[in-house]
Amino acid sequence: MTKQLVMNSVCPAPFQLNTSLLKKVLMTALSRGGDFADLFLEYRTSLSISMEEDIIKESEETLTIGLGIRVIKKDRTGYAYANDLNEEKLIKAARAAAVIADQRISRPRPVAFRPIRVKNRVAPVKKLATALPLDEKIDLVKRAYQAALNFDPAIKKVQVIYAESTQYVWILNSEGISVKDCRPMIKLAVHSLAERQGHRESGYYGGGGRVGLEYFKNSMTPETIARESAREACLLLEASEAPAGSWPIILSPGHSGVLIHEAVGHLLEADFIRKKTSIFWDKLGQKVASDQVTIYDDPTIPGFRGSYNIDDEGTRPDRTLLIDRGVINEFLQDKLSARLMGKKANGHGRRQDYSHWPLPRMSNTYLAPGEYSPEEIIHSVKKGFYVSRLSGGQVEDSGQFTFSVTLGFLVEKGRLTRPVKQATLIGTNLDILQKVEMVGHDLDFGLQTATCGKEAQQVPVNDGCPTMKITGMTIGGQL
């Protein structure tokens, strides 16, 4: 499945920095007595193409180059970065980061780098999209645009965005790790606007991941993406206001994974645990959810947006079992939290780019499949709310969360009836987790376009779940 890899053979020009200079920078970073230091060298090229109002309106290329320098002393982090990679600037930045450790002078032990070759497990790419001609990508955009516009006469406006990026990283640290990787990503997303008798609604759909352009032939065509987007806009034209109050909820497979991400995933991130701000901080090994709930975070799923061969600290990740039949099994760790908690780093240290330090983050998070068929689950509800599309959510450390529903259905006597739009689901995680009554066997994943934000850092993620039923949850709709 995984074809030949891209990295190691390819070496962009900025990666020609010589190791002795980087060693000097790292030594300078440790010169005030830091316990640990690392360098994160990034070179990223991105391209986006947009089409609206019947024309390919714009293309944009972005080139990012920078080096981030981190120094850790106990639980304190010093950070500096530079765009200009000449020796003078890098040494200046290293000195700024070094200050966090306040010793006057320290003689750090010299580091000997041990270069590690990374095996590509996650990006089944035949050829980097970056290396392919612009016209091929423009063609994908035009096809999606036409397909959305032709879906229904009610579709009045369409906007299509194609985006690709290739991120090269080189991570070196005071433990001697020196590792490089290449991380490709593509995305095609369609916004459709439907209008009937002065009433307007919009739809959205997209696809992509750590894949090559062949994805749009083999996995999801531009036409499929476009039609799903247009279908949603048209369906919303028929939708009525969502109800308000506390109802039994059924969550659709795939898109509803965001609930797992928000309600559980974030609160298992080790920084919130060691700082004791997460409601879960003292609950390792305890039962916090119903038996139906088993949750994994897996950075190794090939082609997925949230996947990586190594995390942003150079740690090789594995699938992490977060919750095992209701019991908290493990937290999401980066190096800093793992060291402070006496645990093993499990490959979840991620950062937005060179200008940020790593934090414990999710990758691809999902609720494991259960035993029920989706039909059984729907049949079990007399009067309830079926969530078809969740567009996002947010959680607080205390466990309160919200989700935005763009499209849902009423459930009446075990059947989906009329479509409803725009509602918010709210709850607290401990409460909801106990109320997961049925989990289906139909595990699916959400759109390959999702991004997760934490402390102003955005990273690509994905999440998934099977059809699931929650006995009661508050919906904020209209009375």
Q: Which lies closer to other proteins via its Cβ, residue 19 or residue 99?
A: 99
Does position 57 interact with other proteins (CB under 8 A)? The reply is: yes
Does position 119 interact with other proteins (CB under 8 A)? The reply is: no
CB of 293 to other proteins, least distance (A): 18
Burial readout 6-39 (b: 16 or more C-beta within 10 A, e: otherwise): bbeeeeeebeebeeeebbebbbbbbbbbbebbbb
Does position 474 interact with other proteins (CB under 8 A)? The reply is: yes
CB of 435 to other proteins, least distance (A): 13
The angle formed by the CA atoms of residues 11, 14 and 20, to the nearest 5 degrees, is 95
Indicate the SS3 state at residue 470: strand
Radius of gyration of the chain (CA): 24
Residue numbers 374-393 binding other proteins by CB under 8 A: 391-393
CA distance 423 to 251: 14
HSE-CB of 326 using CA atoms within 13 angstroms: 15
CB of 199 to other proteins, least distance (A): 8
Q: Which lies closer to other proteins via its Cβ, residue 65 or residue 111?
A: 65
Q: Which lies closer to other proteins via its Cβ, residue 55 or residue 131?
A: 55
Does position 157 interact with other proteins (CB under 8 A)? The reply is: yes
Does position 83 interact with other proteins (CB under 8 A)? The reply is: yes
Nearest to 126 by CA among 1, 245, 248: 1
Q: Which lies closer to other proteins via its Cβ, residue 202 or residue 300?
A: 202
Does position 188 interact with other proteins (CB under 8 A)? The reply is: no
Pairing mode, strands 199-209 and 177-196: antiparallel
Q: Which lies closer to other proteins via its Cβ, residue 193 or residue 213?
A: 193
Does position 418 interact with other proteins (CB under 8 A)? The reply is: no
Nearest to 182 by CA among 195, 166, 194, 171: 166
Residue numbers 423-452 binding other proteins by CB under 8 A: 423-428, 430
Residue numbers 256-285 binding other proteins by CB under 8 A: 275-277, 279
CB of 99 to other proteins, least distance (A): 7
Residue numbers 296-325 binding other proteins by CB under 8 A: none
Nearest to 15 by CA among 171, 177, 184: 171
Does position 131 interact with other proteins (CB under 8 A)? The reply is: no
Q: Which lies closer to other proteins via its Cβ, residue 296 or residue 357?
A: 357
Contacts for 27 with CB less than 8 Å, ≥ 6 apart? 108, 110, 111
Q: Which lies closer to other proteins via its Cβ, residue 65 or residue 332?
A: 65
Does position 130 interact with other proteins (CB under 8 A)? The reply is: no
CB of 426 to other proteins, least distance (A): 4
Give the tokens for residue 96: 């700024």
Q: Which lies closer to other proteins via its Cβ, residue 354 or residue 372?
A: 354
Burial of 116 (0-12, 13-18, 19+ CB in 10 A): middle
Residue numbers 210-249 binding other proteins by CB under 8 A: 242, 244-246
What is the 8-class DSSP label of residue 107? -
What is the 8-class DSSP label of residue 345? -
Does position 148 interact with other proteins (CB under 8 A)? The reply is: no
Stretch that binds other proteins, among 166-174, 218-226, 375-383, 470-478 (CB under 8 A): 470-478
Q: Which lies closer to other proteins via its Cβ, residue 395 or residue 465?
A: 395
CA distance 347 to 106: 30
CB of 274 to other proteins, least distance (A): 11
Does position 417 interact with other proteins (CB under 8 A)? The reply is: no
Give the tokens for residue 126: 């035949």
Q: For other proteins, what does the binding mask look like between residues 23 and 52, x meaning CB under 8 A?
A: --------------------------x--x
CB of 244 to other proteins, least distance (A): 4
HSE-CB of 194 using CA atoms within 13 angstroms: 25
Q: How many helices (H) and strands (E) does the chain have?
A: 10, 24
CB 461 within 8 A of CB 350: no
Does position 88 interact with other proteins (CB under 8 A)? The reply is: no
Does position 404 interact with other proteins (CB under 8 A)? The reply is: yes
